[in-house]
Amino acid sequence: MAGVAMTYQRAILLLLLLVLMLVYPTMAQDSTPDADIAATEEATEGITATPSSDVGFVATVEVDSGFARLHPSQDAEAVASVFVDEKLEVISRNLDGTWFEVRRPGRMTNLGWVFTELLDWEGRPEFLPLGDAVTGLTSDIASPVTTDYAVFIIEGVALRNYPVLERSQRLLNIPPSVVVPVLARNQDGSRLYVNYLGTEGWIVGFAARQRNDILQVRQAPNLPPLETIQVYIVPPELQLEQIESFRVWTQDKLVLAQNLESFWWSVFRGEIFPCQPPAEIASYLYDDSDVQQLPELDRYAPRTVTGVRYLNASINAMRACGVVQPDDVSQARNDAINARIIFAATLQQLDNLEDQIR
Residue 240 within a domain = yes
Which of 229, 226, 134 has its CA nearest to residue 185?
Answer: 226
- Residue range 188-204: average pLDDT? 95
Residue 140 within a domain = no
Residue 260 within a domain = yes
Q: Which residue has the higher pLDDT, 150 or 32?
A: 150
Same domain? For 165 and 247 the reply is no
- Residue range 32-60: average pLDDT? 44
Q: Among residues 108, 123, 138, which one ends one of the domains?
A: 123
Q: For residue 224, give the 3-state DSSP assignment.
A: coil
Same domain? For 240 and 352 the reply is yes
Q: How is the beta sheet containing 199-204 ordered, strand by strand?
A: 150-152, 179-185, 191-196, 199-204, 157-160, 170-174
Same domain? For 278 and 198 the reply is no
What pLDDT score does 34 carry? 34
Same domain? For 202 and 314 the reply is no
Same domain? For 274 and 353 the reply is yes
What pLDDT score does 163 carry? 94
Element (H, E) at 9: helix 2-30
- Residue range 263-291: average pLDDT? 88
Residue 347 within a domain = yes
Residue 162 within a domain = yes
Same domain? For 340 and 266 the reply is yes
- Residue range 123-150: average pLDDT? 90
Same domain? For 246 and 347 the reply is yes
What pLDDT score does 10 carry? 56
Same domain? For 211 and 264 the reply is no
Say whether pLDDT at 94 is over 70: yes
| Structural domain count, the chain | 3
Q: Are 112 and 69 in contact (CB under 8 A)?
A: yes
* CA atoms within a 13 Å half-sphere pointing along the CA-CB vector of 8: 5
Q: Which residue has the higher pLDDT, 138 or 217?
A: 217
What pLDDT score does 276 carry? 86
- Residue range 131-157: average pLDDT? 89
* CA atoms within a 13 Å half-sphere pointing along the CA-CB vector of 271: 9
Backbone angles phi, psi at 246, to 5 degrees: -70, -35
Residue 19 within a domain = no
Q: Across all residues in the chain, what is the average pLDDT?
A: 83
Residue 37 within a domain = no
* Percentage of the residues of the chain whose pLDDT score is greater than 70: 83
Same domain? For 74 and 177 the reply is no
What are 153's strand-pairing partners? 208
Same domain? For 241 and 296 the reply is yes
Residue 250: pLDDT band (50, 70, 90) is: very high
Element (H, E) at 249: helix 236-268
What pLDDT score does 75 carry? 93
What pLDDT score does 230 carry? 63
What pLDDT score does 292 carry? 85
Same domain? For 171 and 250 the reply is no
Outline where DSSP puts E strands in the chain. 58-61, 65-69, 78-83, 87-94, 99-103, 112-115, 119-121, 130-132, 150-152, 157-160, 170-174, 179-185, 191-196, 199-204
Q: How far apart are CA 117 and CA 61, in angstroms?
A: 9
Say whether pLDDT at 48 is over 80: no
Residue 286 within a domain = yes
Same domain? For 265 and 353 the reply is yes
Say whether pLDDT at 23 is over 50: no
What pLDDT score does 296 carry? 86
Residue 199: give its domain's CATH number.
2.30.30.40
Say whether pLDDT at 26 is over 60: no
Q: Range of 100's domain?
A: 58-123
- Neighbouring residues of 256: CB distance < 8 A, sequence distance ≥ 6: 278, 281, 311, 339
- Residue range 297-324: average pLDDT? 88
Judged by average pLDDT, the poorest of 17-21, 109-113, 188-192 is 17-21
Q: For residue 334, give the 3-state DSSP assignment.
A: helix
Backbone angles phi, psi at 339, to 5 degrees: -65, -45
Say whether pLDDT at 173 is over 70: yes
